[in-house]
Amino acid sequence: MTKLQRSIYVLLFFILSLGGLYFAAPFLIPVTLAAVFSMMFIRFCNWLENKGMNRGIASLLCIASFMIAICLIVFLLSWQLNGLVENIDAMKQRVVSLFSNFQHWIYEKAGIDLKQQKEMIQSDNGQSGSMLAGFADKIMGILVNTVLILVYMFLFLLYRSHIKKFILKLVPGEEKGKADGVVHQAGKVAQRYLSGLATMILVLWVMYGIGFSIVGVESAIFFAVLCGILEIIPFVGNLTGTSITVLSVLAQGGDSRMIIGVLITYALVQFIQTYILEPLIVGEQVNINPLFTILAIVLGEMIWGIAGMVLAMPLLGMLKIVCDHVPDLQPYGFLIGTEKQRKKRTGVIDKLKAVFSG
């Protein structure tokens, strides 16, 4: 079989896999989320087991800690959201004023009078009710998937050794050692990436909270937590979080100085994140070049929506590990990776990075 034929077969397999991922999304999304999230707790679960704890109880404690973390985030958001709701009337008046000014601007620039604009807005043909029904259906789906993810996470942690043995049985005897190394390394990539990302988000919460509080944004902690959580989606999340904050400041009646303050806070945090936090905390755990990072996020959103955007980076990192260890797939691993060589640790950041990585 020629190299061209092998490449065609690989591309055909890739296309068929994407089709399968798209049509099986309702089943695969909670399973994949649970598998990736459970990798983050393997080290903690191993530590509990080394202390003499039963694997089932250790897995339950990992799930409990995950649920506690989620509940704390929800509590922070709801606590700050209550303060935001208290000022909802003033925000409504501000939004109405902004919308009215926007309507006049459209009339001046496009020549569409206010009556025509009102007719365009109200021409939904009774679709509002169906939109509300669809929203309620999505909420129920999210709740069901959340329960499924927690159950899957527990089972993945409980049967992780059994699953690993199954993977090793799929390869020939002489390749078992190499396959074991690939499985271990792929799991480590996901663990370190997710753990580093969680640490970075905590630091971002503090920085955004301080910055927004100094600027004078109402419910600053709410927007700080929101901007930090959205960082799980590279490139897209930080812009989305900052845009929401700026729009909320406008709705709160903030002046141009407050908006500039929010943008300056965003710029400073992004500078610190890019040049200090990511090299120090996240590092090169997912060694993917920016082009394929964006392509993976866009493709993930097309196939699995928001869940695909969240899972794009850890899954692509694990795929690169597999490609680097399979001779026929090594060109693809090279394509999605970077050519930067690992430099000798001489700078301050590199020394701190060595401390964090142990």
Ranking 34-43, 178-187, 246-255, 307-316 by mean pLDDT, the lowest is 246-255
Number of domains forming the structure of the chain: 1
Residue 64 banded pLDDT, cuts 50, 70, 90: very high
In a domain, 97, yes or no: yes
Tens digits of residue pLDDT in 134-193: 556 667 777 888 899 999 999 999 999 899 888 888 888 777 788 888 888 877 777 777
- What confidence category does residue 286 fall into, taking pLDDT thresholds of 50, 70 and 90? low
Q: What is the pTM of this model?
A: 0.71
Taking the mean position of all CA atoms in its chain, how far away is CA 329?
27
Residue 57: predicted pLDDT: 93
Residue 270: CB partners within 8 Å, gap ≥ 6?
A: 238
Q: Is residue 111 part of a domain?
A: no
Checking if the pLDDT of 314 tops 80, the result is yes
Q: Is residue 132 part of a domain?
A: no
> How confident is the model at residue 342, as a pLDDT?
47
Flag whether pLDDT at 269 surpasses 80: yes
The model's confidence at residue 242, banded by pLDDT at 50, 70 and 90, is confident
176 domain-assigned: yes
Residue 125 is given by DSSP the state T
Whole-angstrom distance, CA of residue 204 vs CA of residue 79: 19
Confidence label for 133 from pLDDT (cuts 50, 70 and 90): low
220 within some domain? yes
- Decide if pLDDT at 93 tops 70: no
For residue 68, the model assigns a pLDDT of: 92
Q: Residue 285's pLDDT is what?
A: 57
Q: Which range marks the domain in which residue 29 is found? A: 21-104+144-286
Burial degree of 117 (CB within 10 A; 0-12, 13-18, 19+) = middle
| 347 assigned to some structural domain | no
pLDDT for the residue 346: 45
**Distance between the two ends of the chain, CA-based, in angstroms?**
46
Instruction: Name the percent of the chain lying above pLDDT 90.
Output: 13
Q: pLDDT tens across 20-58, in order?
A: 888 998 899 999 999 988 988 888 899 999 988 999 999
3-state DSSP of 302-326: HHHCHHHHHHHHHHHHHHHHHHHHC
Classify residue 342 by burial, with Cβ atoms within 10 Å: 0-12, 13-18, 19+: exposed
The answer as to whether 56 is a domain residue is yes
Higher per-residue confidence, 321 vs 279: 321
State how far the Cα of 122 lies from the Cα of 268, in Å rounded to an integer: 42
Residue 335 has pLDDT above 50, yes or no: yes
> Can you tell me the mean pLDDT for 306-314?
85
Whether the per-residue pLDDT at 290 is higher than 90: the answer is no
Share the mean pLDDT of the chain: 77
Is 326 within a domain? no
Q: For residue 268, what are the CA distances in angstroms to 204, 282, 354?
A: 11, 19, 25
